[in-house]
Structure 1
């Protein structure tokens, strides 16, 4: 899996990550969606950036609190403007 070492531990950080994905600031290509998930290996929660074949492009670990409270933010997208 393609995970970076950072852990998102606040909803503000999650929103900033989502905005970075949407704006192209992370340099990812073929992004089709974002989802919350848990690792099959150890149950750790993460936010997953997926391509159009539902393959993981990038994952970033999230705290349990962000996992539980950030699902709507991931589902409906950030409210802040990209401009």
Structure 2
């Protein structure tokens, strides 16, 4: 579910990913929410797209900086573009 070569390195990249998820641009089935999490095995941070049952649908690794500074963006959603 998580591609090791696909790392979100900036807040702009995180925003673009979240917009794709919100708009349905990734054609994900049953995507119900997004969360920042850490891998239990190695502690590596990632952004997770979850279904109605809180199961991982899609994940992308993020840098520690994006993990720390993107929490509000994920928690409260994106501001609508003007």
Report the TM-score, using the length of structure 2 for normalisation: 0.94
Cα shift readout 1:26-62 (whole Å, capped 9, x = no counterpart): 1101111000000001000000000000000000000
Report the TM-score, using the length of structure 1 for normalisation: 0.92
2:74 is the alignment partner of 1:74: yes
Map of 1:62 onto structure 2: 62
State how far apart, in whole Å, the 2-side matches of 1:23 and 1:47 are.
17
Could you say what secondary structure the match of 1:31 adopts? coil
Gaps of 5+ in 2: none
Could you say what secondary structure the match of 1:28 adopts? coil
Deviation at 1:80, TM superposition (A): 3.8
Could you say what secondary structure the match of 2:32 adopts? strand
Map of 1:47 onto structure 2: 47
2:38 is the alignment partner of 1:38: yes
State how far apart, in whole Å, the 1-side matches of 2:9 and 2:38 are.
15
Size of the aligned set, in residue pairs, is: 81
Gaps of 5+ in 1: none
State how far apart, in whole Å, the 2-side matches of 1:77 and 1:18 are.
8
